[in-house]
Amino acid sequence: MNWNEIEADLEKMLTPKRFRHTLNVVEAAEKLARDFGCDPDQARLAALLHDCAKNLTDAQLLDWAKQHQIKIDRVSQNDPQLLHGPVGAVLVRDRYGIKDAAIQKAIDCHTTGCKNMSSLDKIIYLADYIEKDRSFPGVETIRQMAETDLDGAMMMALTNSICHVAQTGALLHKRTIDARNDLIIKTRNLK
C-alpha cells in the first residue's frame, strides 16, 4: 500500500481520536527525525503505522500474538493492550506490506521501550509521548528537552512512564526497565 492507501485504511480502522493522535505523531516524528539526523520519510511511515493494532480487542491481540509466536509474558497476559506494539509490527508487514525491519522494530517497542533502542525507536517512542495533544504533568519539560537532547528526553519519558505506571498500581513491563537501564549504561559509559 502507498501512503494514501495506508492513511485511508487507518482512518477506517481507528477511532477518530486515535486517528488524530496518529497524525500528530507523524508530525512530531518528522520534526524529531529532522532535528536528530534520521530519515524523515522513514520516521513518518513508522509514526503513521505505530498504532495500527490499537483497534484490536484484548482477545484479538492475544490470538494474534499466539499465531505469530510473539512472546506473551505474564504482564502482557494480564494487560494485553501492551501487545499492540509487537502485534502492530507483524501487521505492518502482513497487512501493509512494509518490509523495513527498522520500522517494524520501532512499532514493536513504541509502548514499552526496549533494550538497544535505535534513534528511530526513540523518535517514535518520544513522538507518541509528546505529540501536541498530550497534556500530562511534565510533558512540556520533556518537549523542551526533545528540542536538543534525544537521549535526555528519552530518559525523562521512561522515568515519567515508570513512575506513572507504578503510581496507578498497574503492572510494569520489564522492557521499560530494560530500556531505561540500557540508556543509563550507554549514556554514562558504565560497564
List residues binding Fe ion (CB under 5 A): 51, 128
Least distance from Fe ion to the Cβ atom of residue 54, Å: 6
Q: In the complex with Fe ion, which residue's Cβ is closer, 130 or 155?
A: 130
Least distance from Fe ion to the Cβ atom of residue 32, Å: 14
Least distance from Fe ion to the Cβ atom of residue 190, Å: 30
Q: In the complex with Fe ion, which residue's Cβ is closer, 15 or 148?
A: 15
Q: In the complex with Fe ion, which residue's Cβ is closer, 30 or 128?
A: 128
Least distance from Fe ion to the Cβ atom of residue 165, Å: 14
d(CA 74, CA 191): 30
Q: In the complex with Fe ion, which residue's Cβ is closer, 108 or 128?
A: 128
